[in-house]
Chains A and B, each alone.
Chain A
Amino acid sequence: MGTLRLDHINKDYVTEGIPVPALHDVSLEFHAGEFVALVGRSGCGKSTLLNLAGVMDFPTSGTVWLDGMNTSMLKDAALTQVRRDKVGFIFQSFQLLPTLSVIENVELPLMLAGGPHPRAVASERLRWVEMDAYADRMPHQLSGGQMQRVAIARALANAPSLLLADEPTGNLDNATSAVILALLRRIADEMETIVLMATHSLEAAALADTIVTLQDGRVQSVSPMQRLTGKH
């Protein structure tokens, strides 16, 4: 089953020759079906943590283990393969390609990976997010919430074991946000996917199983949701 383990991760960015620490000695472990919210102020390292988890970036030191694989040891081609097979991304600004139709956007990761029957899989994912009726539309013909649902369908195209969501409700109203968060919750529950979501919203974090609070690049706390909100 899917696991994500971050082992003593440090990440520095070098700005004009001076190293600026972004993450400091972060060690975390998540399991299949776990919905995790990363919270903290802007610049605390949430996005950096997501990028490292999604093997889009390398830690300065430490190890990222995904499904038991040490990704720090992998070369570029292997990392690309890991991203294709195991990781899905959702962005605050949806990031649908405007020149592709809805279904083509969902097919894209499958086609890039060279997987079989991309159209059938994409249709199935769109049905899952209840967007199959919009398959032939272009992104600019959709609302924000619809675009994010398509983006989720796309992220799920390769049935990833890890879904990374960077402020997925940042551009949406409360009602639409609730729908998107419910979808993410379902993904964790029904697909046994680890959902790692960076958010500023306590309401969004409230739906998570685990809340990781970051401050100045360090893990301040790892707590079940009820501790943060005071509810059960």
Chain B
Amino acid sequence: MNLFYRLILRPLRRERLRTALTVLAVALGVAAVLSIELAGQAAVGSFRSSLETLTGSANLEVTAPGGIPPEAFARVATAPYALKLHPRIEDYGVIAGEIRRTVPIIGIDVINVDMTSEGALGGAPLAADASTFSNVWLNESVWASSGLGYKNGDRIRLLINDTASDFTVRGLLNDPAGETILMDLAPATRLLRRGGRLDRILIEAPPTHSMEEWETLLRQSLPEGVAIARQGAQTEENRRMLDAFRWNLRVLSYVSLAVGAFLIYNTISVSLVRRRFEIGILRALGTPRAAILAGFLGEAGCFGLLGGIAGIVLGRAMSEGAVKLVASTVESLYFSSRPAPISLTWETALLGIAIGIGVSLVSALGPAWEASRVAPVEAMARGRREHQARVNRWRTAAAAVILALAAWIASQQSAVNGKPLYGYLCALLSIGATALLIPALVSALAAITAGLIRRVFGVEALLATRSLAGSLRRTSVLVATLSTAIAVLTAVGIMVGSFRETVLVWMDDILQADLFLTPAVPAGADRHPTMSAEIPAQIAHLPEVEAIDRLRTYEVRYEGLPVTLGGMDSHSGARRRKTSFLSGAPTEGVMRQLIGSDVVIVSEPFANKHRVRVGDSLTLSLGGKLHSFRILDVYYDYSSERGVILMDRATLLRYLPGDEPTNVAVYLKPGVSLEQGQRAVERVIAGRGVAIVRNRTLRDQGIQVFDRTFAITYVLEALAVFVAITGVGGALLALVIDRRGEFGLLRFLGAADRQIRRIILFEAGLLGALANIAGVTLGLILSLLLIRVINKQSFGWTIQFHWPVLVLLSALSIVYAATILSALYPARIATRLVPIEVIHEE
């Protein structure tokens, strides 16, 4: 213990800046991982809670894509079993007012409900007595979650689809964290335009049979297209859809941790360099190797513990921002979601500390082992020969080739349970291969450029180059770390840039109309609010309007996963839409084939997720019955990660009668200005909850959603780069200490302060340049991997490769400048060395 205090703890206390920087690096790494974990949990948690409100003790649920027809409910209700049925309609609406709040709206059978025993209503019955249940009373009554802040008797205006209606709050749901509005089935059916269909029937089955038996028994009573499952099963399936998204975020968050690990490696290396003399004395006095090893691992453990604790605090704070970004992405791409409160549990806190300590110990193992192998005589001589690279660059280059081959093989493999595990492995192997190639790269570049560098930049550059090539092991680790951060920056930059460009081109194609109408309530991946059918009919007759294109979308399920099903005006779309198909077929031809046939086109993510191709048949459960559709073509689509199936509107109406469109695209006649057209359409929709958006605005909104979706990746990248640059500064400090004798000698030989400074800055510049060369090359490979393998397997999108030159150049320049700036402090230390002292140490 005394040894640990003298050798490790005392120096840590003395060198506060170094200790603080290292702890900060670990803390940032841990914080990145924890914040993503907490944010992901919060987003998923809220998803579960918002739809699972008031499910009581139901243990089974009946669902049907496009709604459960009344006859199916009747069959279950008349089944000869003692079942309690809770029919429900579930959707979203907006509380009108200053703060427009989107809330789940649940319609239940208020008259027959008995949920007070569940405590869902705070112990109060829905109504004082049954005599109050008149139709009028029911139609204007709602019950609100206590968390919404209403009290009995309050008036509330709800915007549902395109209609605003006023209600009276009749009671509060004992649901402080929830934001649900409950109403009777009748107004819910009318306002949500369900046409007598239900969204879900919750069933309380008695324990006379097992759940499997109940499922089997009840399935026999139900039509073919109606599904029965354990209550919450769909929620589970939905949540699994988020896995790929959460996985990718997690992996990105681990990059910061990996880069932070390097700083630990470096810090322990610095400790070793500084205490080599002490270690030599201790070893000469009989201290066993194990004690030295334990001492240095103990130092890393201290960094890990402190970093872990700080990381928990930091991660909790960062998760507040992260959850907004994650939830926004979940909302736009997956499901309606409102972030649940972030809950930092003991388990999560312990995980943070375990990550901090674990990463620190693993990364310190190398230098700690080296410390324990220090020969006493060598250490006390303080020579630097033992630091010389003992790297066989050709052997490592050969290993790099093997890793690269393995990476290529991994890149050719399919996803495992929808997760691109081989893609991640390929990324890891590529990073490893690049790291192993770096010694050869450094040596080759040093040899090739030696003459040129000396001629152009002078003796300082020559010394810097030789020094880096001379300490090959350290240089290689440093370049590998910085290049990994740069590679991730480049790869994600290229991927996001390419994706953005692809989406921009795609939006140019699909947004052909001049004006777009949607219900004023916010839509989401699983929310399809509609507008009255007469609105498009009236707009189509306006003299300013040439044509309209209606789209009706539904949330349906295919193979247990949620999918968007849409019906569009193929006839009008044939001439005006511009859809790109994987087959390369012209839009008009495909659209015309859709008319009047049971054929569909599917989006690329749908085809990839469900492994279907052109010519395959899809069986969809629509309106409680099963129907087959042939896939006519697959089209590029970036609006939904879940996948879209599109058919002609008339075909869809045959199976799901609902004339109210979700969106209407308006094409103005030639010569009609946007202002004129918009004014004319506004006159039609006046007083209705319908929003009108211009083509350009919709495009801008689309790209805003895109940028918001990827904002979190930029944050995680910036974090990784920050940690890496801190690492470079620390590593250069270690180099200065290690080479203090050399700097002392140079002063004896007539080197000026500025020359010493220039050597260090050149080294930083060369490190930055090497890291940029390796990083950009690796980044390019990783970007192809991200675009062609990981994205494809996770989300199924085709992204056209695009170099975001300006963004990349700016980012890389900033990183490069920061790398050089990080060398200023080590350079200052180098100029302050006392030559006589350091020369005589040698």
Asked if A91 and B459 sit within 8 Å, CB to CB, the answer is: no
Chain A positions within 8 Å of B835 at CB level: 56
**Given A89-B748, A97-B742, residue A111 in contact with residue B839 (CB < 8 A):** no
**Closest-CB distance, B736 to chain A (whole angstroms):** 15
**Closest-CB distance, A10 to chain B (whole angstroms):** 17
Q: Does residue B746 face the partner (Cβ distance < 8 Å to A)?
A: yes
Interface string of B800-842 (1 = CB under 8 A from A): 0000000000000000000000000000000000011001101
Asked if B836 and A84 sit within 8 Å, CB to CB, the answer is: no
The distance in angstroms between the C-alpha atoms of A223 and B467, with both chains bound, is 45
- Of the listed stretches A75-83, A183-191, A199-207, A209-217, chain B binds A75-83
Q: Does residue A99 face the partner (Cβ distance < 8 Å to B)?
A: yes
Chain B positions within 8 Å of A154 at CB level: 749
Q: Does residue B469 face the partner (Cβ distance < 8 Å to A)?
A: yes
- B754 nearest CB neighbor, chain A only: A77
**Given A108-B459, A112-B459, A112-B755, residue A98 in contact with residue B746 (CB < 8 A):** no
- B742 nearest CB neighbor, chain A only: A97
Asked if B388 and A97 sit within 8 Å, CB to CB, the answer is: no
Q: How large is the interface on A (under 10, 10 to 19, 20 to 34, 35 or more residues)?
A: 20 to 34
Asked if A80 and B751 sit within 8 Å, CB to CB, the answer is: yes
Q: Does residue A45 face the partner (Cβ distance < 8 Å to B)?
A: no
Asked if B836 and A56 sit within 8 Å, CB to CB, the answer is: yes
Query: A interface, by DSSP: helix, strand, loop or mixed?
Result: helix
Asked if B751 and A51 sit within 8 Å, CB to CB, the answer is: no
Asked if B842 and A93 sit within 8 Å, CB to CB, the answer is: yes
Q: Which of B741, B742, B750, B839 has the most CB of A within 10 A?
A: B750
Give the contacts of A90-135 with B (CB-CB under 8 A): 91, 93, 95, 97-100, 104, 108-109, 111-113
The distance in angstroms between the C-alpha atoms of A84 and B755, with both chains bound, is 13
**Given A83-B748, A113-B750, residue A98 in contact with residue B842 (CB < 8 A):** no
Q: Does residue B409 face the partner (Cβ distance < 8 Å to A)?
A: no
Chain B positions within 8 Å of A98 at CB level: 384-385, 388, 470
Chain A positions within 8 Å of B384 at CB level: 98
Give the contacts of B725-763 with A (CB-CB under 8 A): 741-742, 745-753, 755
The distance in angstroms between the C-alpha atoms of A84 and B813, with both chains bound, is 37
Asked if B750 and A112 sit within 8 Å, CB to CB, the answer is: yes
**Closest-CB distance, B834 to chain A (whole angstroms):** 9
Give the contacts of A134-157 with B (CB-CB under 8 A): 154
The distance in angstroms between the C-alpha atoms of A211 and B384, with both chains bound, is 35
The distance in angstroms between the C-alpha atoms of A108 and B384, with both chains bound, is 20
Asked if A111 and B459 sit within 8 Å, CB to CB, the answer is: yes
Q: Does residue B708 face the partner (Cβ distance < 8 Å to A)?
A: no
Asked if B749 and A109 sit within 8 Å, CB to CB, the answer is: yes
**Given A109-B750, A111-B458, residue A95 in contact with residue B388 (CB < 8 A):** no
Chain A positions within 8 Å of B747 at CB level: 56
**Closest-CB distance, A113 to chain B (whole angstroms):** 6
- A160 nearest CB neighbor, chain B only: B750
Q: How large is the interface on B (under 10, 10 to 19, 20 to 34, 35 or more residues)?
A: 20 to 34
Q: Does residue B466 face the partner (Cβ distance < 8 Å to A)?
A: yes
The distance in angstroms between the C-alpha atoms of A57 and B836, with both chains bound, is 8
**Closest-CB distance, B469 to chain A (whole angstroms):** 7
Chain A positions within 8 Å of B748 at CB level: 54, 56, 83, 89, 95
Q: Which of B459, B462, B746 has the most CB of A within 10 A?
A: B459
Asked if B752 and A108 sit within 8 Å, CB to CB, the answer is: no
**Closest-CB distance, B385 to chain A (whole angstroms):** 7
In the complex, which of the residues A54, A89, A95, A112 contacts B751, with contact meaning CB atoms closer than 8 Å?
A112
In the complex, which of the residues A83, A97, A111 contacts B745, with contact meaning CB atoms closer than 8 Å?
A97
Q: Does residue A169 face the partner (Cβ distance < 8 Å to B)?
A: no
**Closest-CB distance, A198 to chain B (whole angstroms):** 12
Interface string of B440-464 (1 = CB under 8 A from A): 0000000000000000001100110
Chain A positions within 8 Å of B752 at CB level: 77, 80, 112
- B383 nearest CB neighbor, chain A only: A93
The distance in angstroms between the C-alpha atoms of A83 and B753, with both chains bound, is 13
- A80 nearest CB neighbor, chain B only: B752
**Closest-CB distance, A86 to chain B (whole angstroms):** 10
**Given A56-B835, A57-B836, A111-B458, residue A80 in contact with residue B750 (CB < 8 A):** yes
The distance in angstroms between the C-alpha atoms of A79 and B180, with both chains bound, is 81
Q: Which of A56, A89, A112, A154 has the most CB of B within 10 A?
A: A112
Q: Does residue A47 face the partner (Cβ distance < 8 Å to B)?
A: yes
Chain B positions within 8 Å of A76 at CB level: 753
In the complex, which of the residues B470, B741, B746, B751 contacts A99, with contact meaning CB atoms closer than 8 Å?
B470
Chain A positions within 8 Å of B469 at CB level: 99
- B741 nearest CB neighbor, chain A only: A95
Q: Does residue A193 face the partner (Cβ distance < 8 Å to B)?
A: no
**Closest-CB distance, A69 to chain B (whole angstroms):** 16
- B752 nearest CB neighbor, chain A only: A80
- A111 nearest CB neighbor, chain B only: B459
Asked if B839 and A95 sit within 8 Å, CB to CB, the answer is: yes
The distance in angstroms between the C-alpha atoms of A138 and B742, with both chains bound, is 16
Give the contacts of A58-89 with B (CB-CB under 8 A): 76-77, 80-81, 83-84, 89
Interface string of B23-62 (1 = CB under 8 A from A): 0000000000000000000000000000000000000000
Q: Does residue A158 face the partner (Cβ distance < 8 Å to B)?
A: yes
**Closest-CB distance, B669 to chain A (whole angstroms):** 78
**Closest-CB distance, B383 to chain A (whole angstroms):** 9
Chain B positions within 8 Å of A89 at CB level: 748-749
Chain A positions within 8 Å of B755 at CB level: 112
Asked if A112 and B746 sit within 8 Å, CB to CB, the answer is: yes
The distance in angstroms between the C-alpha atoms of A84 and B748, with both chains bound, is 9
In the complex, which of the residues B385, B458, B746, B840 contacts A47, with contact meaning CB atoms closer than 8 Å?
B840
**Closest-CB distance, A104 to chain B (whole angstroms):** 8
Chain B positions within 8 Å of A97 at CB level: 463, 466, 742, 745
Interface string of B688-722 (1 = CB under 8 A from A): 00000000000000000000000000000000000
**Closest-CB distance, A111 to chain B (whole angstroms):** 4
Q: Which of A98, A99, A100, A104 has the most CB of B within 10 A?
A: A99
The distance in angstroms between the C-alpha atoms of A20 and B419, with both chains bound, is 71
**Closest-CB distance, A127 to chain B (whole angstroms):** 21
Asked if A100 and B466 sit within 8 Å, CB to CB, the answer is: yes
The distance in angstroms between the C-alpha atoms of A95 and B751, with both chains bound, is 15
**Given A80-B751, A99-B466, A100-B466, residue A51 in contact with residue B388 (CB < 8 A):** no
Asked if A84 and B750 sit within 8 Å, CB to CB, the answer is: yes
**Closest-CB distance, B331 to chain A (whole angstroms):** 58
Asked if B388 and A83 sit within 8 Å, CB to CB, the answer is: no
**Closest-CB distance, A183 to chain B (whole angstroms):** 19
Give the contacts of B427-445 with A (CB-CB under 8 A): none
- B755 nearest CB neighbor, chain A only: A112
The distance in angstroms between the C-alpha atoms of A120 and B86, with both chains bound, is 98
Chain A positions within 8 Å of B750 at CB level: 80-81, 83-84, 109, 112-113, 158
The distance in angstroms between the C-alpha atoms of A77 and B458, with both chains bound, is 19
Chain B positions within 8 Å of A54 at CB level: 748
Give the contacts of A157-204 with B (CB-CB under 8 A): 158
**Closest-CB distance, A55 to chain B (whole angstroms):** 10
The distance in angstroms between the C-alpha atoms of A104 and B385, with both chains bound, is 19
Asked if B467 and A99 sit within 8 Å, CB to CB, the answer is: yes
- A164 nearest CB neighbor, chain B only: B748
Asked if A95 and B466 sit within 8 Å, CB to CB, the answer is: no
Interface string of B307-330 (1 = CB under 8 A from A): 000000000000000000000000
The distance in angstroms between the C-alpha atoms of A111 and B836, with both chains bound, is 22
The distance in angstroms between the C-alpha atoms of A81 and B747, with both chains bound, is 11
Chain B positions within 8 Å of A104 at CB level: 462
Chain B positions within 8 Å of A111 at CB level: 458-459, 462
9 A-B pairs with least C-beta separation: A84-B750, A111-B459, A99-B466, A99-B470, A109-B749, A80-B752, A83-B750, A89-B748, A112-B750
Can you list 7 pairs linking A and B with CB atoms under 8 Å apart? A51-B836, A54-B748, A80-B753, A84-B750, A89-B749, A99-B467, A99-B469
Besides A80-B751, A95-B741, A108-B746, 7 more A-B contacts (Cβ < 8 Å) are: A77-B752, A81-B750, A99-B467, A108-B749, A111-B458, A112-B746, A158-B750
* Chain A residues proximal to chain B, CB less than 8 Å: 47, 51, 54, 56-57, 76-77, 80-81, 83-84, 89, 91, 93, 95, 97-100, 104, 108-109, 111-113, 154, 158
